[in-house]
Amino acid sequence: MDAVLKSLMRSAQSEMEASAARRPSREEAEAAVRTLIAWAGDDPAREGLLDTPKRVARAYEELYSGYRAGPEAILDRTFGEIGNFDDMVVVRDIEFHSHCEHHMVPFVGKAHIAYFPVERVVGLSKIARIVDIYARRLQTQEHLTSQIITVIDEILKPRGVAVLIEAEHMCMAMRGVRKQGASTVTTQFTGVFRDDPQEQVRFMSLLRGVRS
């Protein structure tokens, strides 16, 4: 385990510990929801809203569960019985939902991830779980892309990783400019994907070929 990975793990652990240390109580969270309901112009004491603060608190525990999960254990188990396979592994169309850290409004989309294994591969479902861990936090799409590729690259140490994320942001669709259907695409590459443009093209072609 090299210094970069150790630093990554320490940073993630410190983030989770700091979050836990300052985490408000359930009662404080529910009181905050009642305040927001009143600020929006409704009566938190009316019948239809009486249990809303409890429901919102429970929903937040699920929607932001990524703060209480670490990616290292998920990618720690790999499999070596892959014969002579050393080509690209692609996991496509990984659906996710996250929340914009600027407005706490959802953005929803799909992640497409590829890597070139070195002697060992990771279970395919583990890649999807990595996406979920980071998506279930307050995010920007750019940071989400960077976090996913960094943890895969540092823990699996493949010959290269490619990540493409496409998403629709409700902060653009529901408020502000209100542009329905606008899609944001982010990409990032490491190793052979970064150094060889032909591998980037092959990755993109595989995604287009699947859709066609």
N residues, the chain: 212
* Global model pTM greater than 0.75: yes
Q: What is the pLDDT of residue 70?
A: 87
State whether 59 and 77 are in the same domain: no
- For 35, the domain range is 3-63
Per the CB < 8 A criterion, the answer to whether 117 and 145 are in contact is no
Phi and psi at 109, nearest 5°, equal -175, -155
State whether 40 and 83 are in the same domain: no
Q: Is 99 annotated as a binding residue?
A: no
Q: Is 112 annotated as a binding residue?
A: no
State whether 47 and 91 are in the same domain: no
State whether 37 and 109 are in the same domain: no
Domain count, the chain: 2
Q: What is the pLDDT of residue 19?
A: 55
Query: What mean pLDDT, rounded, does the chain reach?
Result: 90
Q: Is 171 annotated as a binding residue?
A: yes
Q: Active-site residue numbers?
A: 100-103, 141, 169, 171
For residue range 107-116, list pLDDT tens digits in order: 999 999 999 9
Per the CB < 8 A criterion, the answer to whether 184 and 167 are in contact is yes
Mean pLDDT of 147-154: 96
State whether 21 and 101 are in the same domain: no
State whether 96 and 24 are in the same domain: no
